[in-house]
Amino acid sequence: MHILLIEDDINAARYVIKGLRESGHVVDHASDGEMGLDMTLSSSFDVIVIDRMLPKIDGLSLIIKLREENIRTPILILSALGEVDEKVKGLKAGADDYLAKPFSFSELLARIEVLHRRTNPETEETFLKVGNLSMNLLSREVHRSNIKIDLQPREFRLLEFLMRRSNQVVTRTMLLEGVWEYHFDPQTNVIDVHISRLRSKIDKPFNENQMLFTERGAGYALRSND
Amino acid sequence: MINLFRLTSFRLIFIYTILLVISVFLIAFYLHLSTSRDLKNRVDEDTIKESKMLISVYQRGGVNRLARSIAQLSQIPNANLYALRNNKNDIIAGNFNDKESLWNLKRLDDGWVSFSSIRNQESINQSLPPKEKFFRGKEFILQGSYNLIIGRDVSNEVYLWKRFLTNIISATFFVLILGLFGGYVLSRNILNRISAINRTSIEIMDGDLSQRLPVGLIDDELNQLSANLNLMLDRLNKLMIGMKDVSDNIAHDLRTPLNKIRTNLEVTLMSNPTSENYKNSIQEVIQDIDIVINTFNSLLAISRVESGSLSLDKEKIDINKMLENVIDLWEPLAEEREIILINQCDQDVQLEGNRNLLSQAISNLIDNAIKYGPNGNKINVGAKLEKDNVILWISDNGPGIPDSDKERVLERFTRLDISRNTQGTGLGLSLVNSSIKFHKGSISLLDSNPNGLIVKLELPKIN
């Protein structure tokens, strides 16, 4: 994946670049808004990561400019402000996701990968399939190997979220934001319990390969079993 | 010597004194002018009446009859002044005999004449030196070249006016002196008090926060100001102590996980590790560091909410739906411990507030109730409307909180003995507290019967 990082803090940039390269991505770096704009106009990227506070052109204005230039590349905005209202501003300007500083690298990586895959975000799809697990969004039925699985509404939404991002790491924060619409972290890891419940329904009864994994220190991933 | 004009009080008093003097002067001047004009008009009328009478006497009886009439009139006590002159300017009749003074009589704009004399004295008291007298009168030219002047002694009025002028000037002077002196005395008093306040302020700035401004017995503005400043200092002092406690606690609370991380890494290094060992250790370390980061995040969240630096959106929240959502998040965890979560919320309870903050507050309270309560606990969560307030409650039959700790638990980093062995930052309730403050509500911790805790939140419906 070809990623452009527009970030003026050299130290933060260096460690993000190192991490992304270790994960097998190609990373370009711009240290101010103007340079970032030039680079996005001259070559194409899969994902652009933009810091909210930038010299010359600030993050929000840069995003608005890019969208005006009809550049549809998924954008993740980073900010030290880290509040819900700031997030709304970022998304309104045209960003696709928002991450508050300080963040863990795994969180950033997970979000970048999800952004890249989500070419058609939350489309009108009515049928999701991961391995032999299938979900019908109209009849709200879930099957694995043609056996029907009964899920409670919340479990259904959780599974839907995971299936739309299959084979990718999904963090706890992403689940809280996406499924519960909460922008805070409960002190106790409640999400773990939800995941293990879901696992007991979609994995346990089937003598097949496990699908729902816990990635230590990072999050969870639903992987196709074939 | 202090520069008096630098003092507001003195400047004010000075300006007021000047204004007072000017207004007194104007009032007196106006009064004098209007009364003297009245008097003059009355006298002038009398003079004109008499002149008409005398002129008709002259027309009927000639100059001799006129001279006789004038002589008669002169006999009356307080008589007017008469001077009948022939064409040689000799006074041939009347009670005025200073003919030189008549040579330079002044003709006034209003058709009257004025003159003065020091010789025409019909004085009662001869021992006094002769005093200049002033007259006002009218001059009539009679056919046959006679000239009649009828006048009136106006010396009293002239002298009165002169005395009035000297008096008003000396009075002004006196008032000025008195005003300045009063201003000085009053300002000295205020200055002394302000100096005391200044001295104390400097001591406080130098670091002695225990100093307080002097407050007198009288409930005036300065004392009120001092009392309020003292209250402000009390509050600041309390905040300072709070800050100090918080930073001590941060240091203490962060040392624990950092020590753990250090030990973990040291042990890993010592034990001839395989790459699998390394991986495990690193993962454990990441988890421990996450705890530290969480603590920082919570602290930041609390201080952001408390300082109000956060421009948080407010929206209409359906409380029942919000509680359903939070319960939904915690239910699986509760069920694992056979804890029942019950929603007792009334329908249609609405509140204007920040959904995220309130959800987090309720979430923290449920978290606590699950964490510190026994297995098989029953946790009730509910809300109802009471006048303009929404009452929210979370009750459990866990161990409760002793009365002596109830105030303390809302402070940052307070962890009661009972919670020593559970994971937590000691910030959960502080965040609830600041979130409730943000919504201008109140929080109370009550005992449940026979045991357990009821957390009652009272929030205004509209912020």
What residues of chain A lie within 8 A of the CB of B333, using their CB?
188, 190, 193
* Winning range, highest mean pLDDT, from A2-11, A177-186, B275-284: A2-11
Query: B221-307 has which CATH code?
Result: 1.10.287
pLDDT value of position B205: 87
Shortest distance between the Cα of A194 and any Cα of chain B, in A, equals: 6
What residues of chain A lie within 8 A of the CB of B359, using their CB?
182, 184
Pick out chain B residues at pLDDT < 70: 1-5, 119-130, 308-312, 415-425, 463
User: For B4-119+129-163, which CATH class?
Assistant: alpha beta
Range(s) within chain B of domains with CATH label 1.10.287: 221-307
pLDDT value of position B362: 92
- pLDDT digit string, tens, across residues A20-77: 998 889 999 998 888 888 898 888 898 999 998 888 888 888 999 888 888 888 999 9
Answer whether B431's CB lies under 8 Å from B301's CB.
yes
* Whole-angstrom distance, CA of residue B381 vs CA of residue B226: 47
* Whole-angstrom distance, CA of residue B349 vs CA of residue B384: 6
pLDDT value of position B124: 46
Looking at every residue in chain A, the average pLDDT score rounds to: 86
Interface of B with A (CB under 8 A): 283, 286-287, 290, 293-294, 297-298, 301, 304, 310-313, 325, 328-330, 332-333, 336, 356, 359-360, 363-364, 367, 370-371, 423-425, 428
pLDDT value of position B348: 86
Range(s) within chain B of domains with CATH label 3.30.565.10: 315-460
Shortest distance between the Cα of B18 and any Cα of chain A, in A, equals: 60
Query: A127-222 has which CATH code?
Result: 1.10.10.10
* Winning range, highest mean pLDDT, from A196-205, A207-216, B22-31, B100-109: A196-205
> What is the CB-side half-sphere exposure of residue A43 using CA atoms within 13 A?
14
Instruction: Reduce the DSSP state of residue B115 to 3 states and report it.
Output: strand
* Residue of B283, B356, B423 lying closest to A216 (CB–CB): B283
* Residue of B328, B356, B428 lying closest to A187 (CB–CB): B428
pLDDT value of position B46: 82
* Whole-angstrom distance, CA of residue A112 vs CA of residue B290: 21
What residues of chain A lie within 8 A of the CB of B369, using their CB?
none
**Domain with residues A2-117, CATH architecture:** 3-Layer(aba) Sandwich (3.40)
**Cα dihedral angle (B327, B330, B334, B339), rounded to 10 degrees?**
-20
Q: How far is CA B123 from CA A221, B80, B96, B133, B134, in A?
A: 131, 15, 13, 11, 14
Contact B367 A183 (CB under 8 A): no
Instruction: Identify the closest residue of chain B to A189 by CA–CA distance.
Output: B333
DSSP B276-309: HHHHHHHHHHHHHHHHHHHHHHHHHHHHHHHHT-
pLDDT value of position A105: 87
* Residue of B283, B311, B333 lying closest to A193 (CB–CB): B333
How crowded is residue A139: how many other Cβ atoms within 10 Å of its Cβ? 9
User: Which of residues 115 through 174 in chain A touch B, CB cutoff 8 A?
Assistant: 154
Q: Which residue has the tokens 């009652």?
A: B456
* Whole-angstrom distance, CA of residue B360 vs CA of residue A181: 11
pLDDT value of position B349: 87
Instruction: Identify the closest residue of chain B to A183 by CA–CA distance.
Output: B356
ipTM summary value: 0.78
Burial A156-176 (b: 16+ CB within 10 A, else e): bebbbbbbbbbebbbbbbbbb
pLDDT value of position B128: 58
- Rounded to the nearest 5 degrees, what angle is found at the Cα of B146, between the Cα atoms of B141 and B152? 65
- Whether residue A207 is predicted with pLDDT greater than 90 in this model: the reply is no
The structure's pTM equals 0.62
What are the sequence ranges of the domains in chain A? Answer: 2-117, 127-222
pLDDT value of position A28: 92
- Tell me how many helices (H) and strands (E) chain A has: 8, 12
pLDDT value of position A47: 92
Contact A185 B297 (CB under 8 A): yes
A104 touching B (Cβ < 8 Å): yes
Shortest distance between the Cα of A65 and any Cα of chain B, in A, equals: 26
User: Taking Cα atoms as reference points, which of B127, B130, B72, B126 lies closest to residue B98?
Assistant: B130
Shortest distance between the Cα of B339 and any Cα of chain A, in A, equals: 14
Query: Which of B315, B338, B341, B356 to probe the A interface (max A CBs under 10 A)?
Result: B356
A180 touching B (Cβ < 8 Å): yes
- Tell me how many helices (H) and strands (E) chain B has: 8, 13
* Residue of B325, B332, B425 lying closest to A187 (CB–CB): B425
What residues of chain B lie within 8 A of the CB of A216, using their CB?
283
Instruction: Identify the closest residue of chain A to B288 by CA–CA distance.
Output: A217
Contact B287 A190 (CB under 8 A): no
**Domain with residues B315-460, CATH architecture:** 2-Layer Sandwich (3.30)
pLDDT value of position A158: 93
What residues of chain A lie within 8 A of the CB of B313, using their CB?
84-85, 88
Q: Is the dihedral of CA B54, B56, B62, B68 positive or negative?
A: negative
Range(s) within chain B of domains with CATH label 3.30.450: 4-119+129-163
Contact A187 B310 (CB under 8 A): no
Strands B389-395 and B453-460: antiparallel
> What is the CB-side half-sphere exposure of residue B185 using CA atoms within 13 A?
5
* Residue of A83, A184, A217 lying closest to B360 (CB–CB): A184
- pLDDT digit string, tens, across residues B325-378: 899 899 989 988 899 988 988 888 888 888 888 898 999 899 888 888 888 888
Shortest distance between the Cα of A145 and any Cα of chain B, in A, equals: 26
What residues of chain A lie within 8 A of the CB of B312, using their CB?
83-85
User: Taking Cα atoms as reference points, which of A69, A79, A78 lies closest to residue A40?
Assistant: A69
User: Taking Cα atoms as reference points, which of B329, B438, B456 lies closest to residue A195?
Assistant: B329
Answer whether B441's CB lies under 8 Å from B386's CB.
no
- pLDDT digit string, tens, across residues A93-140: 888 888 888 788 888 998 998 888 765 555 567 888 888 888 988 888
* Whole-angstrom distance, CA of residue B317 vs CA of residue B350: 6
